[in-house]
Amino acid sequence: MVTKRPSEKSTGVGVRVRRRTPVVRPSCPQGKAGRWADRASRQRGQALWEMALGFLLLFVIMVHVIGFGRVFFLYHNVLTSVRMAARYAVSHPYTNPAHRRAVQRLVVYGQTTGPFGGAQIPGLSVTDVEVTPNPSATGPPQFITVRATIRINAFALLGEFDMYPEVTMRYLQLN
């Protein structure tokens, strides 16, 4: 025979269901309950400060990542322009002084002639681009070097610095 405990009742189908008994907590003095409430509010305040400091740290890291990405993007654009201008310089006859100005305009404006809009890269001017032929003993130069100097301000946290993308290519002997 199955005996039932006082906290169980039979449902008639053979399944016993345990009754819930109310939880009786020992009474605590008023002072002790107040201390527990103060402790919980202090822990919530500590979590708030931790979250605020964590967000501040993440924000500073995010600003630096964005600044580095911007510097990398600008450097890549200037290097691409310098490379394009170096290709132009080595594939055209280097006898005319206007050729050097055309190469400089190609770096800054993206075109050699015509109405010029603004510079492709902010802060870059024609005077920041150097075109240097490496002369041979006789005849046209063997190499042409195109170098741009650009000053980049990567937010106030990283400061300003100069970058010098440079490309040297062998001069093509035109027949």
Query: pTM of the entire structure?
Result: 0.66
- Report which of 79, 82, 88 is spatially closest to residue 146, judged by C-alpha positions: 82
The tens-digit pLDDT sequence of the chain (175 residues) is 555 555 555 555 666 666 666 655 555 555 555 555 566 666 677 888 888 999 999 998 998 888 888 888 888 999 999 999 999 988 887 777 788 888 998 999 888 876 677 888 888 888 999 998 887 666 677 888 999 998 887 766 667 888 899 999 988 866 5
Cβ neighbours of residue 141 under 8 Å, at least 6 residues apart?
94, 133, 134, 135, 171
- 3-class DSSP state for residue 148? strand
Q: Please check whether residue 166 is in contact with residue 82, taking contact to mean a CB–CB distance below 8 angstroms.
A: yes
Q: Distance between CA atoms of 62 and 72, rounded to whole angstroms?
A: 15
